[in-house]
Chain A
Amino acid sequence: MSPVIPIGPYHPALEEPYKIDVVCDGETVTGAHITVGFNFRAIEWLAERKNYAQDLALVERVCGICSNVHTLTFSRALERLAGVEAPERARHIRVVVHEAERLHSHLLWAGVACELMGFQTLFMACFALREKVMDVLEAVSGNRVNYAMNKPGGVTRDIVDPAMVVAAAREIGRVTNEQLIPVLTTDRTVRARCAGVGVLTREQARSWGALGPVARASGLPQDIRRSAPYEIYDKLDFEVPVREEGDVLARIVVRALEIVESCRIIEQAIEGMPAGPTDLGNFLPMPAGEATARIEGPRGEVFYYVASDGSDSPTRVRIRTPTFANMPTVALMVQGQQLADVPLIQASIDPCYSCTDR
């Protein structure tokens, strides 16, 4: 009889509730069953019973790492519903915060992955760099978590020191290019732990609907910023890194290259930021109707659907987070792998259990 190893419901590295039961033949994984829902909060239900202003605060708390993407997507859905668009300056500010959030999320993940590999020095280097991003986010928004920057029709705060943001983006891009990427791509420890490990093929990624860096590391060049540009992304010059290998190393490389691209985007968004208002003012009441919005979060496409009957509360809110789509692919990635690699493989999708459970 094959032994079943229960891992969880707390992740051994990420300290979030999630369980994977791994079936083994010796040290080799032959099957896996994933259980989620330990942090289920019925946020869709709650959102349909609160007013739009309360919902903005509610959706910010879907996720503690990528909170900004939820208020951004929700705000954009409401703007679509009302047929309005945020002012130009607000859209530049949104992109700056959006990309800064991607930076901190990718660096947080890189640090955790390095710790899982047993590479403590690189873990500390990643977190030191992430602190520079957190300083930017705190200076811009006043907060290190739950930035409260977005609102329907614009942003809540202006960027008062754009030069500081540009300087930080350049520094983070330089350190990533000169230090992080060379180590992450050539170091023997990283390659030994990650190359050829936890492969998700292109076809598997497509049929299971993988998103974000997980999809791009398996050869799928999908990025909402490019395929359905929002805010000012159609005016920006940036690359969408794609790798074909589909292994843990490819996911590391894709995210590392995205850090550099995010720094470039922040620079462009700041340099092209026009003067002008940062929000439209109050445009409630919301008209009756329905709308969707999608943005490319750090972990992939974030999707919101909002329906309104013209009252001050939505009649339906649907939230599809990227980890919800990526998590089932872990069961494919761990097939035939060593048991000791399971924590690293499941962490390689940069999972957010809070997002998944909503």
Chain B
Amino acid sequence: MDPDVFEDVRTELGIGAPWEARGEGRWAEAASLDPVTLAARLLARQARFVTLTATPTGDGGFRLLYHWDLDGSLLNIAIRVPGARVASMAAICPAADWVEREVRDYYGLEFTGRDDTPPLMLREGDERALFVRTQELGRDADPADTARRTGGGPAPQLPASPSAWPGPSGNGAGVPS
């Protein structure tokens, strides 16, 4: 693709610093860019939304890395949000619908402008932000335990000895998973 196209995109998005070429893709930090504007500009160029990588920054905010495919080239554009709210782009980019629902399940990030954000990996009624809540219990805590504690009733209790586990021969064949 003509390199000028990427410069045009950078200008349209108001990204000051030049693209950083790494791997197959181009990277940019655009701290205050609105995701809806980003989506509108890239969709107008027939770009394809790949996914969103949300990473908690440790201060209650997030670094949101939006990955887009522009005619085979990968654009990785990072924005930062100080809290757990960001504009949803699902209304103009249906491909973002499930991604936003998944990110909300994991990190509790609220996508504003949606009619609703039903859970995707969690079940209706489950408490959101599964990974954030699990992290609060310790780095090596188990998200399954967190989910059982807060969303799915009490955790099933198994006898301590495997020989006493349910199953035809006490060998664990009937252990609930």
Contacts and interface: CB of A to CB of B under 8 A. Distances in A.
Interface string A53-65: 0000000000000
A208 B94 contact: yes
Contacts, number: 85
A236 interface: no
23 contacts: A36-B121, A37-B119, A42-B131, A80-B22, A206-B46, A206-B48, A207-B95, A208-B95, A227-B72, A228-B73, A230-B24, A291-B22, A292-B25, A293-B24, A294-B74, A301-B50, A303-B50, A305-B65, A315-B55, A318-B53, A320-B99, A324-B98, A357-B121
A159 to B, nearest CB: 27
Contacts of B143: 42, 45
A278 to B, nearest CB: 23
Contacts of B24: 228, 230, 292-294
B71 interface: yes
A207 B93 contact: yes
B88 interface: no
Nearest to B65: A305
A227 B71 contact: yes
B98 A228 contact: no
A228 B74 contact: yes
- Chain B interface mostly helix, strand, loop or mixed? mixed
Contacts of A292: 23-25, 67, 74, 76
Interface string A12-36: 0000000000000000000000001
Contact of A45 (B55, B98, B123, B134): B134
User: How many B residues touch the partner, as a band?
Assistant: 35 or more
Interface in B140-155: 140, 143-144
Interface of A: 36-37, 40, 42, 44-45, 49, 80, 206-209, 222, 224, 226-228, 230, 291-294, 301, 303, 305, 307, 315-316, 318, 320, 324-325, 327-328, 357
A45 B48 CA distance: 26
A36 B72 CA distance: 29
Nearest to A320: B51
Contacts of A230: 24
B23 A303 contact: no
The 5 closest A-B pairs by CB, nearest first: A227-B72, A209-B95, A320-B51, A37-B121, A318-B53
Interface of B: 22-25, 46, 48-51, 53, 55, 65, 67, 69, 71-74, 76, 93-95, 97-99, 106, 119-123, 130-131, 134, 139-140, 143-144
Contacts of B106: 44-45
Contacts of A303: 50-51, 67
- Chain A interface mostly helix, strand, loop or mixed? mixed
Given A37-B121, A80-B23, A293-B23, 14 more contacts: A36-B121, A49-B140, A207-B94, A209-B49, A209-B94, A222-B69, A226-B72, A227-B72, A228-B72, A292-B74, A293-B24, A294-B50, A303-B50, A324-B98
Residue of A80, A293, A325 with highest tally of chain B CB at under 10 A: A325
Residue of B25, B73, B98 with highest tally of chain A CB at under 10 A: B98
B48 A49 contact: no
A42 B142 CA distance: 9
Contact of B122 (A37, A208, A305): A37
B96 to A, nearest CB: 8
A307 B55 contact: yes
B123 A37 contact: yes
Nearest to A42: B143
A305 B95 contact: no
B120 A316 contact: no
Nearest to A293: B23
